Amino acid sequence: MMDQEKVDILLVDDQPAKLLAYEVILKELNENLVVATSGREALEYLLKNEVAVILVDVCMPELDGFELAAMIREHPRFQKTAMIFISAIQVSDIDRLRGYEMGAVDYVPVPVVPEVLRAKIRVFVDLYRKTRQLERFNAELEDRVRARTMELEHSNARLLESEQRRSLALAAGSMGSWDWDWLNGDWMWDEGQYRIFGVEPTAFTVTPDNVRALLHPDDMGQLRKAMVQFNKGVKSYETEFRIVRPDGEIRWLFGTAAATADKSGRVIHVSGVTVDITERKRAEERQNLLTREVDHRAKNALALAQSIVRLTRGENAKSYMQAVEGRIGALARVHTILSLSSWQGAEITRLVDEELAPYQMNDQIAFGGSNVQLQPATAQTLAMALHELVTNSAKYGALSTRTGRLTINWKVEADVLRILWEEREGPPVVEPVSRGFGTRSVIASIESQLGGQAEFDWRPEGLICRLSVPLRPAATARQSSHRQPVGGETEVQKVAAQ
C-alpha cells in the first residue's frame, strides 16, 4: 500500500486572518499545514523541509508571490514543487502567463470556494505521493537490475536475495514484474502482473501474441518502439500505455524495462516492472475538468456582475450604489446556496427565503409551494427577478407600508414552474404609463434568459405578477445563453436601452 504519512502544505500570506481561514478550509485533508507570513519566512522553511504543495498570495509586501515563485524555482530541489497562487484581484492574461512561467500550476480567485481549494490541494498532494512512490519504485528497479546482472556472473544466492527484494517492493503498491528470455522467447510473470492485466495464471499463457491482444490498439506502437530500441543497444526503456482487460475495462500502466546483453552486446534477457497508474490518470482528468469548470463559472459570474453594473440606473450616486449593492447581494446569496450544493442546484424555498429575509417583518410575507430543485443558471436568473420584484414592492408596493401583505405561491405543471406574486392592502396601485426598469428587467430575465413568461396585473388593490419558468429550457434559449460572450450585450441590456 502507498505510504500515507502526512505531507507538508505550506501556506504563505502576510495576513494572519487569511492564513487562519486557509487552515480551517484545509484541516479536513489531515495533512501538516505550515504557515508563513512572508516570502522570506517561506524560503527559510523550504530550505529545511520537504513540501508537497505551496499555497501563496500573489500580493504581499517586500516579496510578492511572483518573486517568491521565481526564487523557489531557482533551487533544484523545488523545481517540481506544486505552487498555487491566490489572487484577490482580477489577474490579467499577461500576469497569469507570468505566474505560469514562474512555476505556478494553478490560480485560485478570491473569494475562495472551500470545496474547490480542497479539491485542488488534494489532487496535488496525491500527485506528490505518487511521484515519491514512483521514485522509490525506480530506485528499487535499479537495484533489481544490478542484482540480476550479478546473478548471471555469480551465484544462485544473489538470485534469491533479488527475489526477496522484489516481493517486498511489490507488496508496497499495485505493481507487477516480468522476465523475458530474449533468445528462446520464454516469459515469466509474477502474481502482480497477472492481477494488473486482469487474467488468471491458470487460464492465461504468456506469449507475445496473447500479450499484444491485451494492449490498447492505439498504444501498440509502444511495444514495437521498445523492441527497436533494445536492438539498437539501448539498455532501458520506460513508457505509459493502456491495456484492455478481458472484461473490457481500460487501465493505464507505467512500464519500465531493462535489457541484459552478453559480451558482444547482444540482448539476451529483458526484465521489467509494471505499475498501475489508472488512479493517477483519473486524478489528472478530474483536475483538468475542475479547472475548466472553475473557469466557466468565473466567467458566468463576471458576465452577470458586469451586466448589473451597466444596467443599473439611479437618480444620484447614492441611489445608484444602493441599487448595485442590492443586485450584487442577490447574486451573492444564490451563489452561496449553489456552493453549498456543490453547484448541483438550488431549492426554490431556500432561494425565496434568502431573497425575502431582509423584509420579513410583522408577518407581512407568506410563501410556499412544491419542493423544486432549480438548475444553477435558472436559480441565478430567477434570484435577480425576485430581487427586482421585492425591491419595487418595498419602494412603491405592499411592503412600503406596515399594513401591506405579500403572498408568493408556486407549483409545477408539465415541467413549468408557475409562480404567483400577489400584493394587497398596500398603497393604491395605478398602472404605470410605461414600464419601469425593474419591470422590464424581470420580463427580460424570465422571457429572454429562461424562455418563460412574465405577466403583470396592476390591480388597484395590489400588483399580481405571474411568472412561468420552464424547468427544462428550450435548446434555442440554452444555445443563446452559451454563445453570449463575457461583457457582451444580453437581452436584458437591449430591453433596458429602449
Identify the CATH number of the domain in which residue 39 sits: 3.40.50.2300
Indicate whether 157 belongs to any domain.
yes
**Residue ending a domain, choose from 72, 91, 126:** 126
| H or E element in which residue 268 lies | strand 267-276
Q: Is the pLDDT of residue 484 over 50?
A: no
Whether 345 and 489 map to the same domain: the answer is yes
Judging by beta carbons within 10 Å of its beta carbon (0-12, 13-18, 19+), is residue 450 exposed, middle or buried? buried
Sign of CA dihedral 14, 16, 20, 21: negative
Residue 323 has, within 13 A of its CA and on its CB side, a CA count of 20
Indicate whether 372 belongs to any domain.
yes
**What average pLDDT is seen over the chain?**
76
The one-character DSSP state at 217 is G
**Residue ending a domain, choose from 126, 151, 168:** 126
Q: Is the pLDDT of residue 43 over 60?
A: yes
User: DSSP letters along 135-196, please?
Assistant: HHHHHHHHHHHHHHHHHHHS-HHHHHHHHHHHHHHHTTTTEEEEEEETTT--EEE-HHHHHH
Task: Report d(CA 391, CA 316) in Å as an integer.
Answer: 17
Mean pLDDT of 222-251: 83
Residue 50 amino acid letter: E
Selection from 53, 66, 69, 41 nearest residue 118 by Cα: 53
Burial pattern 302-331, b for ≥16 Cβ within 10 A else e, equals ebbeebbeebbeeeeeeeeeebbebbeebb
Let me know: does 239 contact 226? Beta carbons within 8 Å: yes
Whether 102 and 138 map to the same domain: the answer is no
Whether 388 and 439 map to the same domain: the answer is yes
Q: Is the pLDDT of residue 292 over 70?
A: no
Which residues, 6 or more positions from 80, have their beta carbon under 8 angstroms from its beta carbon? Answer: 131
Indicate whether 114 belongs to any domain.
yes
Q: Is the pLDDT of residue 33 over 70?
A: yes
Let me know: does 176 contact 195? Beta carbons within 8 Å: yes
What is the number of structural domains in the chain? 3
Residues of the domain holding 213: 129-281
Strands 346-347 and 267-276, sheet pairing:
unpaired
Task: Report d(CA 193, CA 189) in Å as an integer.
Answer: 6
Task: Report d(CA 234, CA 159) in Å as an integer.
Answer: 24
Q: Is the pLDDT of residue 198 over 80?
A: yes
Selection from 356, 376, 357 nearest residue 304 by Cα: 376
* Per-residue confidence (pLDDT) for residue 100, from 0 to 100: 63
Q: Is the pLDDT of residue 173 over 70?
A: no
Mean pLDDT of 61-76: 75
Q: Is the pLDDT of residue 420 over 90?
A: yes
Task: Report d(CA 12, CA 108) in Å as an integer.
Answer: 14
Integer-rounded Cα Rg, in Å, for the chain is 32
Q: Is the pLDDT of residue 209 over 90?
A: no
List pLDDT tens digits, range 117-165.
Answer: 888 888 888 888 888 888 888 888 888 877 777 776 665 655 556 566 5
* Per-residue confidence (pLDDT) for residue 381, from 0 to 100: 80
In the block, cell 432549480 appears at 374
List pLDDT tens digits, range 322-361.
Answer: 555 555 555 555 556 555 545 566 788 888 887 777 777 6
Task: Report d(CA 483, CA 493) in Å as an integer.
Answer: 16
Give 409's pLDDT tier (boundaries 50, 70, 90): very high
**Residue ending a domain, choose from 240, 260, 281:** 281
Indicate whether 288 belongs to any domain.
no
Selection from 402, 391, 397, 408 nearest residue 432 by Cα: 397
Sign of CA dihedral 150, 156, 158, 160: positive
Task: Report d(CA 447, CA 470) in Å as an integer.
Answer: 10
C-alpha cell belonging to residue 114: 472551500
CATH number at residue 344: 3.30.565.10
Whether 115 and 133 map to the same domain: the answer is no
Whether 110 and 220 map to the same domain: the answer is no
Whether 373 and 231 map to the same domain: the answer is no
Task: Report d(CA 26, CA 117) in Å as an integer.
Answer: 8
Q: State percent of the chain over pLDDT 70.
A: 72
CATH number at residue 173: 3.30.450.20
* Per-residue confidence (pLDDT) for residue 496, from 0 to 100: 35
Give φ, ψ of 298 to 5 degrees. Answer: -65, -40
Indicate whether 272 belongs to any domain.
yes
Whether 356 and 475 map to the same domain: the answer is yes
The length of the chain is 498
Task: Report d(CA 384, CA 355) in Å as an integer.
Answer: 9
* Per-residue confidence (pLDDT) for residue 410, from 0 to 100: 92
308 versus 63: which is more confidently predicted?
Answer: 63
Burial pattern 75-105, b for ≥16 Cβ within 10 A else e, equals eeebeebbbbbbbeeebeeebeeebeebbbb
Indicate whether 321 belongs to any domain.
no
Residue 168: strand pairing partners: none
Residue 102 amino acid letter: M
Whether 114 and 159 map to the same domain: the answer is no
Distances (CA, A) of 11 to 16, 33, 45, 206: 11, 7, 11, 51
Whether 353 and 257 map to the same domain: the answer is no
List pLDDT tens digits, range 3-22.
Answer: 578 899 989 888 888 889 88
* Per-residue confidence (pLDDT) for residue 301, from 0 to 100: 52
Whether 62 and 143 map to the same domain: the answer is no
Indicate whether 287 belongs to any domain.
no
Indicate whether 320 belongs to any domain.
no
Mean pLDDT of 104-123: 82
Whether 162 and 110 map to the same domain: the answer is no
Give 247's pLDDT tier (boundaries 50, 70, 90): very high
Whether 59 and 95 map to the same domain: the answer is yes
Give 170's pLDDT tier (boundaries 50, 70, 90): low
Three-state DSSP class for residue 414? coil
